[in-house]
Amino acid sequence: MTALAANHSELSPLRFLERSASVFPDRTAIVHGDRRYTYREFGAEVQRLAQVLASRIEPGDRVAYLCPNTPEMLIAHFAVPLAGGILVALNSRLAGPELEYILDHSGATILFVDSELLGSAATIRERVPTVREIIDVPDSTITIENPVTGVATTTYSEFLACDVVRASLPWSVADEQTPIAINYTSGTTGKPKGVMYSHRGAYLNSLGETFHNGFTGDTKYLWTLPMFHCNGWCTPWAVTAAGGTHVCLRAVRADAIWEAIDTLGVTNLCGAPTVCSTIADAAQAHPLTTPLRITTAGAPPSPTIIGRLESLGVTVVHVYGLTEVYGPYTICEPQDSWATLAPAERAVLISRQGVGMLQAENARVVDPQMNDVPSDGISLGEIVLRGNNVMLGYYRDEEATAQAFAGGWFHTGDLGVMHPDGYIQLKDRAKDIIISGGENISTVEVEQAIVSHPAVADVAVIGVPDDKWGERPKAFVLVRPGAVVTALELIAHARDLLAGYKIPRDIVFASDLPRTPTGKIRKNELRAADDPVTGA
């Protein structure tokens, strides 16, 4: 039956701001330093920017943002699609050539750049012909001593002051399957790929985030997760749907996070395990008297970090997903029976990747023939996903899209197991698994064993060539400030937790580990540096 206007409307997260601005006009929507926006002001700012953009772009044009977690980046998540454009939120840590590739590939026509990041955009107008305008976006919370000039074509305030028709734009779209955003992957195995999100997928994922995070009008959400990463896991739209307060944070620093927790009443935040470690290890860390919920993903969190946060009174929620599935797709739903377990046992269960979220289907773990592996918590297979929260496809890359969707499911490239209770557990990326003497070694398992030592802050394990076994594990360790530990001590500690063939023979004490902007360790860089032919 054909859908009629009376019983069908196209889904779009634009509706969330329309509703909150109407229902909660005087509620605080955004906090950033000395700036405050009510929902009425939030909606009006979005409308104003969208009207100017609509006069400059054609429907479907890509509009790029190179900004940290400031109000302007949040506003863009509504204003760009309201104007009919597609948002391309750029990784603020990329170098000039990397930015140029993404802007050229996406065909972006307008670029908004935070004042502090203008230097990264110095050659863009010269080298990316599609970019017609570059708008300088200042931030009142910082002072730039030596501002970059000659890059921007105009400033944010001048852009907003353009003379355009002031009629309000409708908070709706004609087709919910049109793209709302293109998010580029980190490109650790090749050129970054542009992942297309639809209005429908963003709407449904946002509702899932709202439900599972418990967002309400009392929510104070701290922006520790980059908005450029999977559109902040769709949380710009989710918190707005609940009528909660966005607490913007320009940079992830322990002192700033704890100040926001203590003075602004932060109730929720999201981030990779490295953010969890930053909070737990901070000099300002202390037991909480009010609830704080941290949703973590990006890499399997160690039970040790989960336990330390829980000892401070923090509730840790573990989710799993990828850029290609709008961020989180599964969640480790806590069972009532877990409450009576010892903290260490509970932390091990929480560290699993869990079950499909409300808006998602159940994940599968399959063999190369797409058969489900036994649900025994041992049999290894690839995690595959499908549903409303799987991307439309890779922008301008039909071959990669077809490969990713082989067999009617999205292939994550992640290896895991299915437990008897239906919870999946990630064991490794397919490219990271170590095969030693014919045995599979999960680098995640080895890492979690080593990081359980009280002197270890973080660790990365890779496979290195071995004449006898083919491969063997090697660990790169970051020691916690003030702690002292030897390689022999860590090997002895691992021996109590792991089978002998899984224990690293070589342990390197590093001063830092290469990471993606979302906190994932770049093991490809560690492998390259360790390679006697290609590395250092």
Residue range(s) of every CATH 3.40.50.12780 domain in the chain: 40-199, 252-429
DSSP states along 205-244:
HHHHHHHHHT--TT-EEE--S-TTSHHHHTHHHHHHHHT-
CB of 108 closer than 8 Å to CB of 88: yes
pLDDT in tens, 9-65: 999 999 999 999 999 999 999 999 999 999 999 999 999 999 999 999 999 999 999
Q: Which CATH superfamily is domain 434-530 in?
A: ANL, C-terminal domain (3.30.300.30)
User: Mean per-residue pLDDT for 484-508?
Assistant: 90
Return the number of other C-beta atoms located less than 10 Å from residue 279's C-beta: 24
The class that CATH gives domain 40-199 is alpha beta
At residue 185, does pLDDT exceed 90?
A: no
Give, as one character, the DSSP assignment of residue 363: P
pLDDT in tens, 210-246: 999 999 999 999 999 999 999 999 999 999 999 999 9
470-479 and 456-466 as β-strands: parallel, antiparallel, unpaired? antiparallel
At residue 188, does pLDDT exceed 80?
A: no
User: Mean per-residue pLDDT for 430-446?
Assistant: 78
Supply the pTM of this predicted model: 0.86
Residue range(s) of every CATH 3.30.300.30 domain in the chain: 434-530
d(CA 343, CA 212): 22
Closest CA to 281 of 460, 458, 444: 458
Report angle CA 523, 406, 400 to the nearest 5 degrees. 55
Closest CA to 187 of 522, 533, 456, 457: 522
Q: For residue 330, what are the β-bridge partners?
A: 320, 356
SS3 state at 375: coil
pLDDT over 70 percentage in the chain: 96
pLDDT of residue 277: 86
Report angle CA 284, 285, 289 to the nearest 5 degrees. 115
227 torsion bin: left (phi>0), alpha (psi -120 to 50), beta (else)? alpha
Provide the pLDDT confidence category of residue 178 given band limits of 50, 70 and 90.
Answer: very high
Place of tokens 């104007």: 83
The phi, psi pair for 232, rounded to 5°, reads: 60, 35
CB of 466 closer than 8 Å to CB of 436: yes
Please classify residue 140 by burial: count the beta carbons closer than 10 Å to its beta carbon, then call 0-12 exposed, 13-18 middle and 19+ buried: exposed
d(CA 90, CA 102): 8
Scored b (16 or more CB within 10 A) or e, 417-437 reads bbbeeebbbbbbbeebbbebe
The class that CATH gives domain 252-429 is alpha beta
pLDDT in tens, 335-388: 999 999 998 888 889 889 999 999 999 999 999 999 999 999 999 999 999 999
Mean pLDDT in the chain?
Answer: 92
438 torsion bin: left (phi>0), alpha (psi -120 to 50), beta (else)? left
Q: Which of 126-140, 166-180, 302-316, 320-334 shows the lowest per-residue confidence on average (mean pLDDT)?
A: 302-316
